[in-house]
Structure 1
Amino acid sequence: MNSESASSASRPDSGPPLGPVSAWTRMVLGFVLVMITASISIVFALLLLPWRLRRIQIGNLFGKTVGPLLVRLAGVRTVFSHYHRIADLGPAIYVSNHVSILDLMLGMWLTPMGGCGTAKKEIARVPFFGWLYRLSGHLLLDRGDRNRAIATLSEAADFVRREGVSIWIWPEGTRSRDGRLGTFKKGFVHLAIATGLPVIPVVVHDAHHRWPADSFKMYPGELHIEVLERVDTSAWETETAGDHAREVEAVFCQVLSAEQQPLPALSSHAD
């Protein structure tokens, strides 16, 4: 892992994708890796069923073991700017843009130990990985049921305050299909207000060029991840949640390349 290298906002080199045989071989190896390690982790999670924090840590250990290996299997070399900010700042709400399946692998890898991940509830149906995710106590959000999603986030806020842990969240709520930054929903703002935690933006540059959405093509090369300075949330208020979401969204826009900037029409901020 390269720990301190300046990230680039320019479009990455666009070499040829991995050949079909190589790509499918890597995906099969990745599935086998997940199947074996998730199965072992599920056993430990079952033994720790009464202790949610311990189960979350089992999930974290799985992610920190498997996440970087899956990224490497995809032919991606990670280059970080200010990686130390993830470990040095204590509990926080980490927010990251979402443009590729690589983001999931990065989230697994980078979430601090004891940190709680978030994902849409459908991920629980994914064999082995989804089963472990559900069992390990990480958050599953029902994007189609606003009241249930709010209840889940409220319960998460109570847990975070009680245990002093971090949360990793993709505030756009769904993966961008063209690499552009989507509108940030306000869920992370409400979490920050409820917990008093700072927000730390984690900007992933051009992951959609390495593994495009809805595609099995993988393009080897460098992937730049930039961990920005913490955003103080101590003065945030519920009445101005939309403004705070736009504030953090603007921080991402300051460092993303032109092709990843949001479209002008994307201006509303949902819960």
Structure 2
Amino acid sequence: MESAGGGSFMRNRRLESFLNTNSAPNVRETPKYVAREEVRPRPQADVYVDDDGWIAKLISCVRIVTCFVSMMVTTFIWAIILLLLLPWPCERIRQSNIYGHVTGRMLMWILGNPLKIEGTEFSNERAIYICNHASPMDIFLMMWLTPTGTVGIAKKQIIWYPLFGQLYVLANHLRIDRSNPTAAIKSMKEVARKVVENNLSLIIFPEGTRSKNGRLLPFKKGFIHLALQSRLPIVPMVFTGTHLAWRKGSLRVRPAPITVKYLPPINTDDWTVDKIGDYIKNVHNLYAENLPEAQRPL
């Protein structure tokens, strides 16, 4: 009986050991699964969650309305200042730059996007500042970040833009006629003459229009002609992320992070007319190198 009982006991121990051995992997799988979840990489700082919920849309709407109302207030105040300065065209340009610094910074603060600015040691040069253009935010940034004494250049139809267009003309900024090549070249020569005579800087979008998807468009020749005639250095300003923050044709602002990077000035003293194509290609390639993959030209 004792022998039968001992045999039964040993058989039970072997059965228990067998069951434990077969079930052990299942017991260990759970901690492994949990561990994989715990070491999952965290989202990077420049990644944002695009929330399409009604609360996010409402907040965006409030931000845009607040921007519009705030811009109306500052525009009205500076319109009065500029009217008082009608006899002094250069002072109107400088006052409009102060308007841009105040209004541009205020609008970006209201919109609330995370913003990083690099290369500020190149931000106070007397130069031709160029910017890639993919969003209405680019204009706010341009207004805020260009130095006092900078004149803007835009197509002559800007006068029909509500509020901003009228103030642009009143501020004595420059407009060009792009209806045909002859008129455009004549306008560029006049712009260069005024910039040199009044010791001004210049700001321009070299693409000539806004990109629909954020990818860099081909550059037009205008800024090269201005550099050849004024001999001012060119300071590229690279805008990253604005096409995600405020997309073309959209009334929705998203919390995408934005970076503005000033690149070192490009000297134009030894530039010649016969190499215009090379200069455009070199500056365009410089932008492509400093943009993320999603914004580089295909």
5 Å-filtered alignment, 1:46-125, equals 46-87=83-124, 90-125=125-160
Greater Cα radius of gyration, structure 1 or 2 = 2
Correspondence for 2:50 among 16, 38, 42: 16
Letter in 1 for 2:64: M
Q: Which residue of 1 aligns with 2:296?
A: 261
Write out per-residue CA displacement over residues 38-79 of structure 1, whole angstroms, 9 at most, x where no aligned residue: 111111112211222111112111100000111122221220
Cα distance in 1 between the residues matched to 2:154 and 2:208: 9
Cα distance in 2 between the residues matched to 1:145 and 1:11: 46
Q: Which TM-score applies when normalising by structure 2? A: 0.80
Correspondence for 2:75 among 26, 35, 38: 38
Q: Which TM-score applies when normalising by structure 1? A: 0.88
Cα distance in 2 between the residues matched to 1:73 and 1:40: 19
Q: Which residue of 2 aligns with 1:228?
A: 263
C-alpha displacement of 1:144: 3.1
Contact 2:61 2:252 in 1 (8 A): no
Contact 1:14 1:209 in 2 (8 A): no
Q: Which has the higher contact order (CA 8 A, sep 6+)?
A: 1
Letter in 2 for 1:135: L
C-alpha displacement of 1:237: 1.3
Percent identity over the alignment?
36
Structure with the higher fraction of residues in helix conformation: 2
C-alpha displacement of 1:126: 2.0
Contact 1:207 1:223 in 2 (8 A): yes
Stretches of structure 2 lacking an aligned partner (at least 5 in a row): 1-43
C-alpha displacement of 1:11: 10
Paired residue secondary structure (2:175): strand
Is 1:190 the equivalent of 2:225? yes
Cα distance in 2 between the residues matched to 1:153 and 1:11: 42
Correspondence for 1:131 among 126, 147, 166: 166
Paired residue secondary structure (1:167): strand
Write out per-residue CA displacement over residues 228-251 of structure 1, whole angstroms, 9 at most, x where no aligned residue: 111111111122212111111111
Letter in 1 for 2:50: P
Contact 2:246 2:252 in 1 (8 A): yes
Letter in 2 for 1:83: T
Is 1:154 the equivalent of 2:192? no
Q: Which moved more, 1:189-198 or 1:24-33?
A: 24-33
Letter in 2 for 1:255: N
Correspondence for 2:66 among 29, 46, 49: 29
Cα distance in 2 between the residues matched to 1:53 and 1:214: 35
Write out per-residue CA displacement over residues 92-119 of structure 1, whole angstroms, 9 at most, x where no aligned residue: 0011100111100011111210101122
Q: Which contiguous aligned blocks of 4+ residues in structure 1 show a shift greater than 4 angstroms? A: none
CA gap of 1:11–1:235, structure 2 versus 1, over 3 A, is farther
Correspondence for 1:166 among 201, 213, 231: 201
- Please report the RMSD computed on the Cα atoms of aligned residues, expressed in angstroms: 1.7
C-alpha displacement of 1:127: 2.0
